[in-house]
Structure 1
Amino acid sequence: MFETFTHRRIETSEAVINLRHAGNGPPVLLLHGHPQTHVMWHRVAPRLAEHYTVVCADLRGYGDSSKPPTTEDHEPYSKRAMARDQVEVMQALGFERFAVVGHDRGGRCAYRMALDHPERIAALSVLDILPTAEHFRRTDMAFAMGYWHWFFLAQPYPIPERMIASDPDVFYLRRGRSLFDEAALAEYRRCFTDPGTIHAMCEDYRAGATMDMRLDERDQQAGRRIACPVQALWGRQNGLERWYDVLAVWRDWADQVEGHGIDCGHYLAEEAPEETLAALEPFLARALKA
């Protein structure tokens, strides 16, 4: 995987970010979800690199990026902190303005980046998420049962860390191993069996339930909106559209919104790479040309 990509580790003001990049053309940053690494883009990134400069980065706390010490308010694992890292990474690579595509937790970092750094983000594509505040605010029995891990991972240290560490495969691979390429799965397992990574990922969810939630609420109260074009894609088999009108929710956050569901589960870029590319490529072409 990533044979044509260059591997780098870039030191930002707060973390060291692990990444791979390749290609020429307008810059596109790809951000992964939980509990994965940048490797989740292995079926999509090489194709995008035919037309774009593609950067696949590990979020802080994940993969081979550093795991900064946390604080009582969990700010070091907030999406605002993760967004700061990635803006610095792209600047170090020479890109002041770029498109960002984020899946799952990476999508949460991506939309926070669009809110906090609107001058940097030319286009935003979010895969299988809604804004964090929307989920928590609309929580009901169906969401709580389907997304129970949100509430489990956000529990105080060290309860979830110890329970997960007893058998990480049972927790992280509960949706099945067959969804992933064997080489990608080996990379995920290498990382999510590390105690430091387990702790950092729990901190990510603790931040989600506290600081990320508060930041979203403040933005909505202040009337802040995402300025760039937004694409929302989701897996029809994962249930998001059974609970929400996905595009309607995103239109509460941005003026330019498009997107649709794809016939797959949660892991769009790995389960349905061709369909994901078929959606991403024209969106990026329009947004980055503008």
Structure 2
Amino acid sequence: MFEGFATHRIAASGTEIFLCTKGEGEPLLLLHGYPQTHAMWHAIAPALAERFTVVCPDLRGYGDSGKPPSDAAHATYAKRTSAMDMVEVMAALGFGRFMAAGHDRGGRVVHRMCLDHPERVTRAAVLDIVPTRTLFRATDQAIATGYYHWFFLIQPEPLPERLIGADPSFYLRENLARWSGSRDMRWVVPEALAEYERCFSDPATIHATCEDYRAAATVDLAHDEADLDRKIACPLLVLWGEQGLMHRHFDVLATWREKASGPVEGTALPCGHFLAEERPAETLEHLLRFFALH
């Protein structure tokens, strides 16, 4: 799926990050979401690499990246920690400043990176999310039903780990179908699905990804509360699926304009949650245009 990409393992603070790279242009960091890996970018990363130096990592706890032991405060898997991973990885590759796009959990890491390291991120894109604090504060029965996993995964260890671990493939496939615009799963290619299943079958990945969500409901919220006055300064692109929960329950663009001091643009695409796989051509078109403005 990533023909011609070089693979690397780079040490970050307390873990090791697996990634693949290709291209010679301006650096562009692509961050995946739950329950996937960097493989989610397979349909568009090669085309982006014709214009940019593309860096596709697995977030800590996901894929082939390290899965450091969790802590009681969930800080090991805080978005602040993951954002620092990515700043360190990009620095190790020789990129002090770069552009970044993140889907789902990766979008939350991009948001935190823009706040903590504004001197590093020159342009940013977030795909199919609203800010974490915004979602929690708006949660009602409909949101809790549609995004049930936010509240399932934050339950104390080992409840979600044991239940998911009983049949990881079923859990993975059910949620990919549930959150997409097409339950028949024709949008996910067999090679990508096999990669998701390979990685998600590891009990360490199941635990680490639960910790990602536990962090979102605790330490990430504390960081967000402390930074209410801080804004995303760089230009921001927002894309989301018009068949997804974000579109049904939020004015997605407005939620991000509240969090940014710089220009914000964006639109909905005719799909569910997994934009880069459900609608790769349209997603690629928007990312190419936006990041080429750099």
Under a length normalisation based on structure 1, what TM-score does the superposition of the two structures give?
Answer: 0.97
1:275 aligns with 2:282: yes
Deviations 1:103-159 (A, max 9, x none): 000000111000000000001100000110000011111111111100000000000
Match in the other structure for 2:122: 122
1:77 aligns with 2:77: yes
Q: Cα distance, 1:178 vs. partner?
A: 3.0
Match in the other structure for 2:105: 105
Match in the other structure for 2:264: 257
Match of 1:173, SS state, is helix
Deviations 1:183-218 (A, max 9, x none): 011110000011000000000000011111111121
Match in the other structure for 1:214: 222
Q: Distance in 2 between matches of 1:148 and 1:178?
A: 24
Maintained 8 Å contact 2:236/2:265? yes
Amino acid at match of 1:190: R
4+ aligned runs moved over 4 Å, structure 1: none
Aligned length: 285
Match in the other structure for 2:244: 238
Match in the other structure for 1:227: 233
Match in the other structure for 1:34: 34
Amino acid at match of 2:3: E
List alignment gaps of at least 5 residues for structure 2. Answer: 178-182
List alignment gaps of at least 5 residues for structure 1. Answer: none
Q: Distance in 2 between matches of 1:72 and 1:45?
A: 36
Deviations 1:233-281 (A, max 9, x none): 0011113121111111101100311000000111000110000011111
Question: 1:1-290 alignment to 2 at 5 Å?
Answer: 1-174=1-174, 175=177, 176=183, 177-220=185-228, 223-255=229-261, 256-286=263-293, 288=294
Match of 1:7, SS state, is strand
Amino acid at match of 1:102: G
Q: Cα distance, 1:285 vs. partner?
A: 1.1
Under a length normalisation based on structure 2, what TM-score does the superposition of the two structures give?
Answer: 0.95
Judge which range, 277-286 or 89-98, deviates more.
277-286
